[in-house]
């Protein structure tokens, strides 16, 4: 799963697609985590771009976290672990963002 011009979010059998402009790119992620019977899980995510903020998505509650990216850097991909809930994720970062993206289809 990589990020370029759109992000797909599935929640309660609904699919939300966020269409980024060609010069828009992810600069940070924030959210909340909480304990559950299955361990610590990610309960909400908010995506921050160079132009605006999307979200929060999920159920806000628990301990907040924030992952800002250095100046001129951008998030270019995600990886994670999912069972019944999202319990881990990581990001790939381009440290030298040039603010341009190729159009890609993610679904």
The percentage of the chain sitting over the pLDDT mark of 70, rounded to a whole number, equals: 77
Please report, for the chain, the start and end positions of each structural domain, with discontinuous segments joined by +: 6-94
Say whether pLDDT at 51 is over 90: yes
Please, what CATH class does the domain formed by 6-94 belong to? mainly beta
Which carries the bigger pLDDT value, residue 100 or residue 51? 51
Give residues with Cβ within 8 angstroms of 63, minimum separation 6. Answer: 32, 33, 34
- Is residue 89 within 8 A of residue 77, CB to CB? The reply is no
Say whether pLDDT at 77 is over 50: yes
Model confidence, pTM: 0.71
Quick one: how far is CA 53 from the chain centroid? 11
- Is residue 45 within 8 A of residue 58, CB to CB? The reply is yes
Using only C-alpha atoms, the chain has a radius of gyration, in whole angstroms, of: 14
DSSP assignment, residue 83?
S
């Amino acid at each position: 799963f990589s990020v370029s011009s759109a992000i797909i979010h599935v929640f309660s059998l609904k699919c939300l697609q966020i269409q980024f402009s060609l010069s828009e790119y992810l600069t940070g992620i924030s959210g909340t985590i909480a304990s559950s019977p299955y361990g610590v899980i990610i309960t909400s995510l908010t995506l921050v771009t160079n132009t605006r903020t999307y979200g929060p998505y999920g159920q806000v509650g628990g301990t907040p976290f924030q992952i800002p990216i250095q100046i001129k850097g951008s998030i270019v991909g995600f990886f994670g672990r999912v069972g019944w809930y999202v319990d881990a994720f990581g990001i790939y970062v381009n440290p030298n963002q040039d603010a341009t993206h190729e159009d890609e289809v993610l679904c």
